[in-house]
Amino acid sequence: MAEPQRLQKLLAQQGLASRRQVEAWILAGRVRVNGKAVTELGSKADPERDRIEVDGQVIPLAKDPARYVLLLHKPVGVLSTCADPWGRKTVLDLLPPSWKRQTRLYPVGRLDADSSGALLLTNDGDLTLKLTHPRYHLPKTYRVQVQGHPSQATLQHWRDGVDLEGYTTLPAEVEFCPAPDFRQREHPNCSWLRVVLFEGRNRQIRRVAERLGHPVLSLHREAIGPLGLGNLKAGQFRQLDPHELQALLAPLTGHSSSS
């Protein structure tokens, strides 16, 4: 007999949604165990004996659900969400129908619609939690075009941390970098920066740059941890191999999420 597990972990492992989303389902009373609504996050279920439903639909629980992790080159103008009520293009619209039939994928974190670059998609809720939880500080590397020419003092202020509405950003790596060849002649009064963040607050780079007087003109995520885009063109994706996934998770070993 299997050991009882917390519902949010159990359902997230099935690829239904991220653990945070499953927690929201539980609090909203959308999850039932053996016909009884469960609304407490600490509740557990036995995957081999208990009957679990979400919105009245019985969820078959695979013992070892297949885990998929894709690296996508998100283009500008595409939303980092699974669906949009106004019909705008989302990252899932970039996948062929075979992937949509195979499993339910969702983005790990977000990139603004007006930003481009590396974005992970997965069906593993536990992996999503690990990669997005603030305590893990997974580094993400960006190439940023800003208006004007920041001074070294301004860059050092950015590196040390900037106050944003009541909190101070974590130290970051910020350096000048060359412009991409195809952008050399655009926006002559601008600078290119390589920024490495160890946290992921909403629109953080744009808000910091605005606060420092150098608004962002374009923003591209080059890498997530050790994973770079390589030869992936905008709109293309590939599945991570086991070695890449291991390298991605290696800096997170020693941290454990609640079970």
Positions annotated as catalytic residues are 112
Contact (Cβ atoms closer than 8 angstroms) between residue 162 and residue 208: yes
Q: Which residues contact 257 (CB under 8 A, 6 or more apart)?
A: 19, 126, 129, 130, 133
Residue 46: both structure tokens together: 């036995």
d(CA 215, CA 218): 9
Is the four-CA dihedral 234, 239, 244, 249 of positive or negative sign? positive
Is the four-CA dihedral 194, 249, 227, 233 of positive or negative sign? negative
Residue 174: both structure tokens together: 């910020």
Q: Find residue 145's DSSP bridge partners.
A: 192, 218
Q: Which residues contact 179 (CB under 8 A, 6 or more apart)?
A: 145, 192
**Helices 19-27 + 125-132 axis angle, to 10:** 110
d(CA 224, CA 128): 13
Say whether 216 sits in a helix, a strand or coil.
strand
β-pair type (31-33, 36-37) = antiparallel
With residue 5 as reference, give the H or E element that holds it: strand 5-6
